[in-house]
Homo-oligomer: A and B are copies of this chain.
Amino acid sequence: MKKLLTPSGFPENLPQEQILENQFKNIFSSVCESYGYVPLETPAIEYLETLSSKGDINKEIYTITRALGESDSEEKQKRALRFDLTVPLARYVGQHYTDLLFPFKRYQIQKVWRGERAQKGRFREFYQADIDVIANAKLPLHFDAEVALIVAQIFSNFPIHKDIVIHINNRKFLNGLLKDHGVDDFDFALKTIDKIDKIGQAEVRVLMLDKLSVKEEAVDSFLKKISKNYPLKEAKIWLETITTQDEEYKEGILELLTVFDYLKDFLPKKGVTFIFSPKIARGLDYYTGTVYETFITGLEKYGSVCSGGRYANLSERFINRKLPGVGLSIGLSRLLDIIKNESLVSYPPPTTSTLLIGFNKEEERGKVNALAYKFRELGIHTETIHDASFSFGKQKDYANKKKVAFLFLEEGNFSFFIDSKRENFNTEQSMFEYIKNERALY
Task: Identify the A interface with B (CB < 8 A).
Answer: 1, 3-8, 10-15, 18-19, 21-22, 32-50, 57-68, 71-72, 74-75, 77, 79-81, 91-92, 94-96, 99-101, 103, 105-106, 111, 113, 115, 117-118, 124-125, 135, 140, 142-143, 261-262, 265-266, 317-320, 350-353, 356, 365-366, 369-370, 373, 376, 381-383, 386-387, 401-402, 404
CA distance A280 to B46 in the complex (A): 39
Query: Which residues of the other chain, B, contact A351 by a CB distance below 8 angstroms?
Result: 36, 38, 101
Query: Which residues of the other chain, B, contact A37 by a CB distance below 8 angstroms?
Result: 352
CA distance A41 to B402 in the complex (A): 20
Residue of B3, B7, B79 touching A7 (CB-CB under 8 A): B79
What distance in Å separates the Cβ of A374 from its nearest Cβ neighbour in chain B? 12
Q: List 22 A-B contacts (CB under 8 A).
A: A3-B95, A4-B50, A4-B317, A7-B74, A15-B39, A18-B39, A18-B40, A19-B38, A32-B352, A33-B381, A35-B383, A36-B351, A36-B383, A36-B404, A44-B44, A44-B111, A44-B113, A48-B67, A72-B118, A74-B118, A105-B383, A262-B365
**Do residues A7 and B46 form an inter-chain contact, with CB atoms below 8 A?**
yes
Query: Which residues of the other chain, B, contact A318 by a CB distance below 8 angstroms?
Result: 1, 3-4
Q: Given A39-B352, A96-B14: A7 and B77 within 8 A (CB)?
A: yes
Query: Which residues of the other chain, B, contact A402 by a CB distance below 8 angstroms?
Result: 101
What distance in Å separates the Cβ of A153 from its nearest Cβ neighbour in chain B? 9
Residue of B36, B262, B350, B356 touching A366 (CB-CB under 8 A): B262
**Do residues A60 and B66 form an inter-chain contact, with CB atoms below 8 A?**
yes
CA distance A63 to B356 in the complex (A): 43
A353, closest chain B residue (CB):
B36
CA distance A18 to B381 in the complex (A): 27
CA distance A67 to B51 in the complex (A): 11
**Do residues A401 and B15 form an inter-chain contact, with CB atoms below 8 A?**
no
CA distance A94 to B7 in the complex (A): 15
Query: Which residues of the other chain, B, contact A140 by a CB distance below 8 angstroms?
Result: 386-387
What distance in Å separates the Cβ of A387 from its nearest Cβ neighbour in chain B? 6
What distance in Å separates the Cβ of A146 from its nearest Cβ neighbour in chain B? 8
Query: Which residues of the other chain, B, contact A8 by a CB distance below 8 angstroms?
Result: 72, 74
**Do residues B43 and A12 form an inter-chain contact, with CB atoms below 8 A?**
yes
**Do residues B47 and A101 form an inter-chain contact, with CB atoms below 8 A?**
no
**Do residues A57 and B68 form an inter-chain contact, with CB atoms below 8 A?**
yes
**Do residues A18 and B41 form an inter-chain contact, with CB atoms below 8 A?**
yes
